[in-house]
Amino acid sequence: MSKLAIKGGKRIRIREFSSSNAIGIEEKRAVDRVIKTGVLSRFLGAWHEDFYGGPEVRVFEKEWAKYFGVKHAIAVNSATSGLFCAVGATGINPGEEIIVSPYTMSASAVAPLIFNAIPVFADIEEDYFCLDPASIEAKITKKTKAIIVVDIFGQPYDAYKINAIAKKHKLYVIEDTAQAPGAKYKNKFAGTLGDIGVYSLNYHKHIHTGEGGVVVTNNDELAEKVKLIRNHAESVMEAKEVADLTNMIGFNFRMTEIEAAIGRQQLKKLKKLVDMRIKNVEYLAVKLAKIPCLKPVKVRKGCKHVFYVHGIKFDEKIAGIHRDKFVEAVRAELPLVKSRETEGVKIGTGYVKPIYLNPMFRNKIAYGKFGHPWTTFDSKVNYSKGICPITENMHDNVLITHELMHHNMTKDDLDDVANAFQKVWENISELK
């Protein structure tokens, strides 16, 4: 009889893994405090003392700025909104280009399009999965205005090399730190490494407020523009006596008082939650290192990786089967995660489909049906398969990602994860 669950054998584990929820009594008390005031949001979309939000939002921003050692922290309703604000704040013009990552959540690649700019995809590093400096430099043209780097999976980008490239070509660096709050590069927090950084407080991040985000910068001008774009910029230009009208079409990207109150409590827990993820990954990595076809993903020298997900490389030559078949068998041995049952077993083949292969980019259709902004500005940017070979190989053949190392995972839980991988390896002949 087969030993592997996918072939009818007994599973390693049936009982669900614990939830990654870190919301506790502190957050409940904070929410109750806000509800009792009756003020759930205090933003006004007009030039007034409340243009910058209510007391919880403002204190949360101060606490965030102090924690990360930056001059300005601006709360928004999502990291996506924060990226849109950041792009607009750079003064980007329609038809200009921004270099982006092909291997991340789509928001950082779509952000340039909000201001009718053109996303240009550079390839990723084979070891760290962040944007590759050499690929970035090869994609720079006279139209390039900025680089949106992503601290993917919790690993900071190569700030030394990429910042030098940006300085050389007079480009802004926008840092998407959605997956890396608390990560560090040479003792400096991720999110503070470029000109402007964006954090996520979405429900499945290290800390969360349900939805939400924070933009940080040490640049006074960028900070003020982000605040304007966040809250109906166009309505306050005259009263505030703003001279530069560039990209001052505002949105409603405002954070509520309840979200800010929750965020203040979650921020206090960040270090502990991050440290638990690191500890769990270290424990699991030792066990998985015994499996010849698996190779741990490297941590960049001088960096603190905070593991939004745990990445593992798969060697098909050693295994004798394709990665997808191996992962399918591992999944069959393990259960779902509580509160995220609809997402399946939290082990993935690759991460996301390379963004440039999605229909909007392949067909260059964003605004209207005639190809704006690409046709309008006669853009020759290429989004065809093959433009980022490392990304495609990692996604199609090599990379395994999983989230079964969050802060609530016990040693017994981690042992079950490791044992599932080990069981599939020991019985891999059943899959051939």
Helices (H), 196-303: 220-230, 237-240, 257-288
Please state the domain extents for the chain: 5-18+270-351+391-431, 25-266
* Level-2 CATH architecture, domain 5-18+270-351+391-431: Alpha-Beta Complex (3.90)
How many CB atoms lie under 10 A from the CB of residue 187? 7
Supply φ then ψ for residue 348, to 5 degrees. -120, 150
Distance CA(380)–CA(242), nearest Å, equals 36
Identical fold, 5-18+270-351+391-431 and 25-266: no
Q: Are 113 and 100 in contact (CB under 8 A)?
A: no
Distance CA(347)–CA(349), nearest Å, equals 7
Q: Are 355 and 102 in contact (CB under 8 A)?
A: yes
- What would the pLDDT profile of 203-246 be if each residue is shown by its tens digit? 999 999 999 999 999 999 999 999 999 999 999 999 999 999 99
Supply φ then ψ for residue 22, to 5 degrees. -115, 15
Instruction: Please calculate the CA angle 348-392-345 and round it to the nearest 5 degrees.
Output: 5
Helices (H), 147-230: 159-169, 220-230
Distance CA(363)–CA(369), nearest Å, equals 10
> Which two three-digit tokens encode residue 414?
């981690």
Distance CA(276)–CA(274), nearest Å, equals 5
Say if residue 372's pLDDT is above 90: yes
- What would the pLDDT profile of 160-175 be if each residue is shown by its tens digit? 999 999 999 999 999 9
The predicted structure's pLDDT at residue 297: 87
Average pLDDT of 24-29? 98
- What would the pLDDT profile of 69-128 be if each residue is shown by its tens digit? 999 999 999 999 999 999 999 999 999 999 999 999 999 999 999 999 999 999 999 999
- What would the pLDDT profile of 320-333 be if each residue is shown by its tens digit? 999 999 999 999 99
How many CB atoms lie under 10 A from the CB of residue 120? 24
- What would the pLDDT profile of 397-423 be if each residue is shown by its tens digit? 999 999 999 999 999 999 999 999 999
Average pLDDT of 295-321? 97
- Rg for the chain, CA atoms, rounded: 23
Q: Is 243 exposed, middle or buried (0-12, 13-18, 19+ CB in 10 A)?
A: exposed
The candidate with the shortest Cα–Cα distance to 83, out of 191, 9, 218, is: 191
- Specify the amino acid at residue 65: A
| Stretch (H or E) spanning 81 | helix 79-89
Distance CA(210)–CA(180), nearest Å, equals 17
Q: Which residues of 77-95 are buried (b: 16+ CB within 10 A; e: fewer)?
A: bbbbbbbbbbbbbbbbeeb
- Residues ≥6 apart with Cβ < 8 Å to 115: 87, 88, 92, 94, 247
Mean pLDDT of the chain: 97
Q: Is the pTM of this model over 0.95?
A: yes
Supply φ then ψ for residue 338, to 5 degrees. -60, 140
Average pLDDT of 373-399? 97
More confident residue, 296 or 152: 152
What pLDDT band is residue 2 in, cutting at 50, 70 and 90?
A: confident
Q: Are 39 and 61 in contact (CB under 8 A)?
A: no
How many CB atoms lie under 10 A from the CB of residue 371? 14
Q: Are 407 and 280 in contact (CB under 8 A)?
A: yes
Instruction: Please calculate the CA angle 393-334-178 and round it to the nearest 5 degrees.
Output: 55
Could you give the percent of the chain with pLDDT greater than 90? 99
Say if residue 1's pLDDT is above 80: no
Q: Are 77 and 212 in contact (CB under 8 A)?
A: yes
Supply φ then ψ for residue 294, to 5 degrees. -110, 135
Helices and strands (H, E) in the chain, number of each type = 14, 14
- E strands of 47-143, at which residues? 72-76, 97-100, 118-121
DSSP label at 214? E
| Stretch (H or E) spanning 200 | strand 196-200
CATH class for the domain made up of 25-266: alpha beta
